[in-house]
Structure formats: C-alpha cells, structure tokens
Chains A and B, each alone.
Chain A
Amino acid sequence: MTETLKPENADQVLDAVKWAVSEATPLEVRGSGTKEGFGRPVQAGRVLDLSGLAGISAYDPGELVLTAGPATSMFEIEQALDAANQELAFEPMDLGSLYGLGEGTGTLGGVIAANLSGPRRIKAGAARDHFLGFQAVSGRGEVFKSGGKVMKNVTGFDLSKLMAGSFGTLAVMTEVTVKVLPRPEKTRTVLLFGADDATAVGALCHALGSSFEVAGAAHLPAAVAARSNVGYVRDAGTSVTAVRVEGPGPSVEHRCTALRDLFGKFGPVEELHSMNSAALWREVRDASFLADDWIEKQVWRASVPPMQGAGVGAKLRAALGGEAFYDWGGGLVWFALDPRADAGAAEVRAAINDCGGHATLVRAAADVRQAIEVFQPQPGPLADLSKRVKEAFDPEGILNPGRMTAGV
C-alpha cells in the first residue's frame, strides 16, 4: 500500500514536493482519482492527494471568470455556474461512466490536466482555450504562476496551454482560473436517420461549414445508437446523425429549420427538444455508449481531420472488428474493441498515420497501458523537445513519471 500525502494548502504541497525531490521519491499526483485509468500507470513511491485543495475562491459571473482549488469537484463547479446560468463552454467530458465510476466526481484540475472537452469543442474550443491562469509547484520544488484572472492576456509565455493536457507531469497546480460563459437560452437537435458513416460525416461537415453555428455534430452507427437511453435514438433501428443548435429562441428555430432542410437531402429527419437533446449530448460527451456491458472493451479516442473520420473508422473496423462512433463532425473517432494484449495499437497508429492526427488509448487494463504507448508516439525531434520541456519543469522526474511516455 503506497503511503498518501494529503496537503491541505499550497504551502504543504510545496513542502511535499521539496521533500520528494530530496528523497528522489516520485509522486503520483491525484485529484479525486477518477482518471487513474487514463494514461500510463505511474510508478511512484508516494501519492500526492490534492483533495484538500478544493473550493471556489472567486467567482463573479459578470467577469466571466472563476478561480478554484484544483480538486474542486466538477459537481460543485457546475452547481455554482448553474446558479448564475453559466457554464464551462468547452463542455468538459465526465470520464465517470467510461470507467464505471460515479458521475460528477472528477475535479476541475483533472479536467484541465487531461484537457477534456466535449461536443462543443468544435465551436467553443477545448479546456485549454478556457484555462486562463494558475499557481503551481514545479517538480523543482518552486512556486510559480502563469497567466492571470482576466480573459485577455499575452503577458509572458502562455504556460497554461502547456499545463492543460500535461497530466500532472510538469507541475502540481494549487489554484486554477477558468473562463466561464452564459448558458445558451435554448437548445435543439436535428437528427438524420440511416446515413452510412461517410455520408453522415459529409453531411456534418456541410452543416459545420454553414453559418448556422452548429454546436455539436455527432454520428452514431446503428449498433451504437441502439445503446442510447434517448428513445428516438435507441429505437431508430438504424444509424443516427445529430447536429445541435443553441442560442436565443427565434434563432434556434430558424437554424433548426434550415438544418432540417440541409439534412433532409440525405434521409428522414427528426428534432429533439430540451430534455432529450441534453440527454443525447451528455451521452456523446461522456462516451457512455461504451459503458455498461461494454465496460470490458478497450477504447481509443482519435482526433483526425473531420472529413477523414469515417475513413479512419472503416479502417479500424476492418483491421480490428469493434465499433466506432463520431463526434466533432467526424474529427473525433471513438473506437471500442474486444481486449487484446496490444490493444490493436499498430493498426490504430497506421490508420491515423495516413491522414494525420493523434490517438489515445483511453480505456484498457493497466498492464496493457504499461506495455504500449498510450498517447500518440512523436517523431524523434519532437519527442526530444517534449523531453526537454519536461526537464525544464521537473528535471528529477518527480511528478507522475511515465504517465505520458515511458521514461519521461
């Protein structure tokens, strides 16, 4: 049983990291532990449990900015934002269902450290685009900050971008500031039934290339659609392609009509209103189609040029069997396969190489994640630069060693 250090404030985080450096004892940095299965397993002498650094320290809805401890639960964040009719526009994914854990248990720091974004990524940007600044302790055992608590800032290097998606390997964040935005007044979803993957992705890209400000664009092949809890989707008996529009009432109605016309050329269409629409996009966001009796399947998540999405999905199915579904207008391919010792890594990399992009093994047993590259392998010079960046923050390899790449 690994001993856990549980600092209660930023000073204690500093003490813990300084001690770890002096003892050459790596730390596994942890918020609430919901993303333990994401990335490579960390071999560390101690767990640094940040759950004591929780709570919203500043939130003025009029400023569109929120500052909180890194371990503040997403449930608490969402409750506070809800009360002011605001939200995190990047629609952070909740990994709970994918890993068979409860919902809302992830932390804000974890969402940032994994750069988790949902369906609205295509319109509003990723977690990294809404991450304004932070305080942290580097792997050198030094306190530093970057960014700020205002929305527009180019003072110094934008280290926030680097921290987002670094999986705790560069520094331990002790305070984070994010941009928040008003919740859209109204949301509706237009569904297209029966399109094959290629036709669907073409239709989605067409919609995204329109001026109708599409805020969600997903395609569920029949086998995946059948796993939805939304009746219209589950009982369709065929594939379901969905676009979401949000905004003031009259605008949403106008754009829905236009998108129904656009989709109507490809097959029968339907419209989902508030409750059903929200439920469907929550499923897409959390990839919850891949939960329950599919929980044993291994899951890849690939970001590719949108128009190439269907082709990547076809190649993966041909090489490995399994099921795919698509978000981000085809640009995000979720792929689930029956467990293999190598998780089909070579086939996945080959499918991505042809079009450019990156794939991450999001769910697999620890020994599989230990044995293969979980994140996209980088060409030599880029890998070297990434290693130098790691060393610039954590020269002794104290923080989450091996989480992203073996030996880094």
Chain B
Amino acid sequence: MQMPEPDQGVIDRRAEIVAAMRAIVPGEGVIADDAMLKAFECDGLMAYRQLPLIVVLPETTEQVSRILKYCHANGVKIVPRGAGTGLSGGALPLADAITLGLTKFNRVLEIDYPNRLAVVQPGVTNLGITRAVEADGFYYAPDPSSQIACSIGGNIAENSGGVHCLKYGLTTNNVLGVEMVLMDGTVLRLGGKHLDSGGYDLLGVLTGSEGLLGVITEVTVRILKKPETARAVLLGFNSSEDGGDCVAAIINAGIIPGGIEMMDKPAIHATEEFVHAGYPLDVEALLIVELDGPKVEVDHLIERVDEIAKAQGAVYARISNSEEERAAFWSGRKNAFPAVGRLSPDYICMDGTIPRGKLAHVLQRTAEMSNKYGLRVANVFHAGDGNLHPLILFDANQPGELDRAETFGADILRLCVEVGGVLTGEHGVGVEKRDLMGEMFTEDDLKQQQRLKCAFDPNHQLNPGKVFPMLHRCAELGRMHISRGQVPFPDIPRF
C-alpha cells in the first residue's frame, strides 16, 4: 500500500508543532510519546500500521477550530479519528500528520422527545445514544456490529449501516444536523432539528466522506420509539440459491423485514461451534428473518414468512417464541466475525454490494477463487440489501498469504462491480479499497469527486491518501480548457 510521501519538513518541525498544540489543548490532550502513540497506529484494519506524527485530543469546538487553523496556516495534515473501529483504514495515521481524536467529545447534549431527536457530541458511541434514551422507550436505529465501541462521528464519516438498514436506513437517513469545522478553522452548522436542506445538501455529502471534508464536532440524530415487539425465524436451505430466492419471495410479497441475514455453510459451522446458537449444521444456507412492530403484525407476518419459506424449499424452520430464543438466533450472526476468526490466525472481511439476484453466481465464483488461491472463505450476507461480507481466512505468518488474501479480496470486489454492484456497502473505501476505485469509476468520475473535496479542503490536508488512488492538485483539477467560440453548434434537434 503506497501512502503519500511524508513531508520531511513537517516531521522536522515536530517539536514546534507539539508546542503549538499544547498552547491550544492543555494537559494530556497532546500525545507525543512513541509508546503512547502506538495505541493509535491503526484502526480496525490492522494489516496496516503507522505511527502518527502526534495525537491531539481536543475537548471543545473552539480547540478544534484553532488546531485546524494552525495546521492550515502551517501546512500540517490532519487524520480525523473517532473510536478507531473502522474496517477500511480510514483512520490510518500518516507519519507527517496529526491524528485528531474526538474521543473526548463524549457528552449527550440534549434529548428532545417531542421532536424525536438527540443532540450529542461525535465521540458518543452508537450504542451510547440508545442507552441515553432507552429508559423512555426510544432508540437510535442504525446498528453497525461495532456499535458498542464505534462513535457516532465515525458513523457519519463512514455512513455506517447495520443489520436493520433495509427497513430503517443507513446513518445518512438518520442524521438531521451537524456542527463541523472546515480545514481552515471555519465552524459551520449543516441541518438542525428540521428535515432536509434549504440549499445544497452538504450534510448528505459530508456523510460517508471518510474524514476528507471536515471534522464533525456535534451531531443531531433522529431517535425512534422502540418497536413493540420483535420475533425472528431461522430458515435453512439446501443451496444459497434457494435462500436467495426466498429473500426475493419475501420482498415480492410486500414484506420488508427489520433484518434479513444469510450465512453460508462455513459461517454456520464456525458460529455454531463458537456460540452454540442452535443452528442446523446440515444446511447450505441459513437465513435469519426478523420482523418487528406491533405484536399482532409480527405474529401475522412471521407466519407468512414461514409459509413463503416452505414454498421456496426451506428444509429447516424455527420461529422464536421468546426474547431469549430470538437473542440466541442473533448471537451466532453477531459473533460471525470472531467465530470465523477462531478458524484461522487472520482473516480479512470484504464488503461489496451486489444485485441480490446475482448472489448464487457470486458465491459460485467466490468458491472457485477460493480453490484457486488455496484460501478458505466464509460468507455472511445482509441479504435484504445485497451487502456481502466474504471473510477470507489466512495466516499472516505464512510468507505470501496476506498478499494472496488481498488479491483474492480484490478479485471478489471486481466481481461485485462486474455483476452491477459496488466495492463497498458500509465499510468505506479508506486505504483498503482505494486502489480499486478505478474498477468502478472513470478518471473523470474520480476527478469530479475530488473537485468537491477541493471546495472543502483546497490543499488536500484532511486525510490525504484515503479514498482516492491518485491525488490531483486542486488548481490542476479546476483548470478548464475552454475553446471559446470554437466548438461547432451541436447537431441536435432544436426549436
């Protein structure tokens, strides 16, 4: 992985930068000790590590603004970081950049039940929002599997999903407003307690921008009343094709389940051995379908799903009859990553999205690749929205295995694009998929995205080396060759 060449001039000025930061953030908020910097050397994508120049942990918006203003004036780069749980290396440090950690922004500022929203600082965890409102029967809907640790600021940066996003949406559909700081220190408010934007939807484009456009310092999210009840059904099939057909049949019957997850045989076996969820071991594909809402609705729909599944050739069906049983159904799926991790010293998790109808084809091709590369793979799948997570097992201590695993992963993502899908459904591009962007986008597509970046950060100081395979200078991107008066009138109908 090639990162931008560090600026030795900035590294040489480290002591001066530390002093400037300590003048802004007093106490222990500036970390310059190598041993302590080690804790920040990677995020959830642990294959890549780099010590940051320094780490700064501000506590107020004003401090963030002053830090960015200083860095803007002095040519210092910034890598924003939430809880560091991201899976694509979005918070991977740079040797010549300050890692700006937002963990001290950890307060819930306001809960407004009549307007159904919460105002929180960006370092509050995803689950922390739900914890703050659950006593009153409310919750925050997006639920990435790292929700116990990941921060809401990081969720916005990555536009995180979760197992319930077919019905309740991704982060972008649940954020109402932010306060953010631009690279030059300007503090802006986007959105608020109302819906939609009066001008360009900058909040929408900030969400999922992977720390390249600004630093978020406050967040307003929608909260929802908890559904009255939820029940799940486990469905086993003799092939993933049957499972995929069943998902299509459920949706075609007009049912949008709260969650609809699929696992293949290796994933079923790995999780069953790990958590003893009670999964059937003799099926090729397992579906967990969860219905939530009023009890009468859930009871009605779960029977219908059961009927549809049987008509679609389900060879196993078990409906949860208690909260414990429902939790047990989920325990396997929710522990799928660590469970698969037990099978092998290392694994990488891919994150492509495909048209659901291509599932069987993609799984077949993935199995062929698995043979070709001599590496095992287990698949978990957000089946409702087509988001596939192949887990590739390898041993980093075996020479060449990491490279082989990464090549295998890249081939899977190319396949996702080939069948009409995309490189990443919820984990982000970061550094992990950066060099594959050209598989999905043309040079002009990527240049247009970078021009947007230039409107926010004209010197590429925020999180450079992430998302885009090639950095173009903004002046070069903005340049336009205009042949004034020399383009002939187009040969198209006119009136």
**A residues neighboring B (CB under 8 Å):** 3-8, 12, 15-16, 18-19, 21-24, 49, 52, 60-65, 85, 115, 117, 121-122, 125-126, 128-129, 138, 140, 142-146, 148-162, 164-166, 170, 181-185, 202, 205, 208-213, 247-251, 253-255, 303-307, 328, 331-332, 355-360, 375-376, 378, 381-382, 385-386, 388-393, 395-396, 404-405
Q: Which of chain B's residues 430-484 have a Cβ closer than 8 Å to chain A?
A: 433, 437, 440-442, 444-449, 451-456, 467, 478, 480, 482-484
Tell me the smallest distance from the CB of A57 to a CB of chain B, in Å.
13
Identity of the chain A residue whose Cβ is nearest the Cβ of B452 in the assembled complex:
A392
In the complex the two chains form, is B490's CB within 8 Å of A12's CB?
Answer: yes
Quick check: is B6 within 8 A (CB to CB) of the other chain? Answer: no
Interface majority SS (helix, strand, loop, mixed), chain A = mixed
The docked-state distance in angstroms from the alpha carbon of A185 to that of B304 is 13
B85 contacts chain A at the CB level, 8 A cutoff: no
Least distance between B133 CB and chain A CB atoms (Å): 11
How many whole Å from A293's CB to the nearest CB in chain B? 30
Please tell me if the beta carbons of A161 and B201 are within 8 angstroms of each other in the complex.
yes
Rounded to whole angstroms, the CA-CA distance of A117 and B297 in the bound complex is 27
Q: Is the CB of A155 within 8 A of B252?
A: no
Out of A183, A332, A375, A381, which one reaches B199, CB within 8 Å? A375
Please give the distance in Å from B297's CB to the nearest CB on chain A.
3
Bound CA span A392–B213, Å: 14
Do A150 and B422 contact each other (CB < 8 Å), given the known contacts A22-B484, A128-B201, A156-B467? yes
Q: How far is the CB of A136 from chain B (nearest CB, A)?
A: 9
Task: Known A62-B357, A144-B444, A303-B195; judge A150-B420 contact (CB<8 A).
Answer: yes
The chain A residue with its CB closest to the CB of B254 is: A182
**Distance, CA A243 to CA B482, complexed state (A):** 55
Report the 10 A-B pairs with minimum CB-CB distance, sorted nearest first.
A161-B204, A358-B198, A251-B297, A376-B198, A15-B490, A182-B254, A22-B487, A388-B455, A305-B193, A392-B451
Q: Which residues of chain B have C-beta atoms less than 8 A from A65's C-beta?
A: 355
| Alpha-carbon distance A195/B186, docked complex (angstroms) | 45
Are A146 and B449 also in contact (CB < 8 A) when A152-B170, A209-B113 are? yes
Beyond A149-B420, A385-B182, 20 additional contacts (C-beta under 8 Å) are A7-B493, A8-B492, A18-B490, A22-B487, A62-B248, A146-B448, A150-B354, A150-B385, A151-B386, A153-B422, A154-B208, A154-B424, A156-B449, A209-B114, A247-B297, A248-B297, A255-B294, A375-B199, A385-B188, A404-B199
Given contacts A15-B490, A129-B173, A210-B225, contact A164 B420 (CB under 8 A): no
Q: Does B429 contact A (CB under 8 A)?
A: yes
CB neighbours of A129 from chain B (8 A): 169, 172-173
Complex: chain B residue closest to A131, CB-CB? B204
Interface code B137-156, partner A: CB below 8 Å = 1, 0 otherwise? 11000000000000000000
A357 — which chain B residues lie within 8 A by C-beta?
Answer: 192-194
Mark interface residues in B336-374 (1 if CB within 8 Å of A CB, else 0).
000000000000000001111100000000000000000
Is B132 engaged at the interface, CB distance under 8 Å to the other chain? no
Judge whether B159 is part of the interface by a CB distance below 8 angstroms. yes
B425 closest partner in A (C-beta):
A152
State A150–B352 Cα separation when bound (angstroms): 10
Q: Does B396 contact A (CB under 8 A)?
A: no
Question: Can you name the residue of chain B whose Cβ is closest to the Cβ of A157?
Answer: B449
CB distance from B418 to the nearest CB of A (A): 13
CA distance A119 to B190 in the complex (A): 23
Partner of B227, one of A154, A165, A211, A358: A211
The reply to whether B192 and A356 contact each other, CB–CB distance below 8 Å, is: yes
B467 to A, closest residue via Cβ: A156
Name the B residues within 8 Å of A7 (CB-CB).
490, 492-493
Task: For the complex formed, measure the closest distance between the CB of B485 and the CB atoms of chain A, giving whole angstroms.
Answer: 6
Chain A min CB distance to B205 (Å): 5
Instruction: Tell me whether A386 and B420 are in contact (CB under 8 A).
Output: no
Report the Cα distance A144→B446, complex, angstroms. 8
- Complex A-B: 5 CB contacts under 8 Å: A23-B487, A146-B449, A184-B254, A248-B297, A393-B448
Q: B78 to chain A: closest CB distance in Å?
A: 18
B172:A161 contact, CB within 8 angstroms: yes
Q: Are A125 and B294 in contact (CB under 8 A)?
A: no
Residue of B nearest to A251 (CB): B297
Q: Which residues of A contact B395 (CB under 8 A)?
A: none
CB of B194 within 8 A of CB of A303, answer: yes
> Does the CB pair B194–A305 fall under 8 Å?
yes
When chains A and B are docked, how far (Å) is the Cα of A388 from the Cα of B256? 40
Q: Flag if B456 contacts A125 (CB, 8 Å).
A: no
Whether B202 contacts A386 by the Cβ 8 Å rule is yes
Interface residues as binary, B155-196 with A (CB distance below 8 Å gives 1, 0 otherwise) = 000110100011001101100000000100011111011111
Tell me, in angstroms, the Cα distance from A3 to B433 when the chains sit together: 46
Given the contacts A150-B386, A155-B440, A254 and B115 also touching, CB distance less than 8 Å: no
With A154-B208, A157-B209: A378-B301 Cβ-Cβ less than 8 Å: no
Q: Which residues in A have their C-beta under 8 angstroms from that of B296?
A: 250-251, 253-254
Q: How far is the CB of A215 from chain B (nearest CB, A)?
A: 12
Contact A389 B200 (CB under 8 A): yes
Contacts of B194 in A (CB 8 A): 303-305, 331, 356-358
Known contacts A211-B228, A251-B294; A389 and B115 CB within 8 A of each other: no
Q: Looking across the interface, which residue of chain B has its beta carbon closest to that of A9?
A: B492
Does B228 lie within 8 Å of A386, measured CB to CB? no
Of B205, B353, B427, B492, which is within 8 A of A158 by CB?
B205
Contacts of A61 in B (CB 8 A): 252
Contact (Cβ within 8 A) B426 A19: no
Pairwise interchain contact A211-B226, C-beta atoms closer than 8 A = yes
Complex CA–CA separation, A128 to B197 (angstroms) = 10
Q: A185: shortest Cβ distance to chain B, in Å?
A: 6
Whether A4 lies near B192 (C-beta < 8 A) is no
Is B188 touching A381 in the complex (CB atoms < 8 A)? yes
CB distance from B348 to the nearest CB of A (A): 18
A162 and B192 contact, Cβ closer than 8 Å, known pairs A62-B357, A156-B437, A209-B225: no
Whether the pair B207, A158 counts as a contact (CB closer than 8 A) is yes
CB distance from A50 to the nearest CB of B (A): 12
B300 within 8 A of A: yes
Question: What B residues does A386 contact at CB under 8 A?
Answer: 199-200, 202
* CB interface residues, B 301-322, toward A, < 8 Å: 301
Contacts of B433 in A (CB 8 A): 155
Is B421's CB within 8 Å of the partner chain A? yes
B397 on interface, CB distance cutoff 8 Å: no
Q: Which residues of A lie under 8 Å from residue B170 when comparing CB positions?
A: 152, 154
- A182 contacts across to B, CB distance below 8 A: 251-256
Q: How far is the CB of B139 from chain A (nearest CB, A)?
A: 11
* Contact among A8, A122, A146, A251 with B300 in the assembled complex (CB-CB below 8 Å): A251
| A215 vs B386: C-alpha distance when bound (angstroms) | 26
Q: With both chains docked as a complex, state the minimum distance between the C-beta of A375 and any C-beta of chain B, in angstroms.
A: 5
Q: Is the CB of A153 within 8 A of B424?
A: yes
* Cβ contacts under 8 Å, B301 to chain A: 248
List of A residues within 8 angstroms of B478 by Cβ: 391-392, 395
Of all chain B residues, the one with the shortest Cβ separation from A84 is B252
Quote the shortest CB–CB distance from B362 to chain A (angstroms).
12
- Also in contact, A121 and B448, with CB within 8 A (given A62-B251, A150-B353): no
A213 to chain B, nearest CB (A): 7
Is the C-beta of B215 less than 8 angstroms from some C-beta in chain A?
A: no
- CB distance B137 to A211 under 8 Å? yes
B332 CB to nearest chain A CB (Å): 22
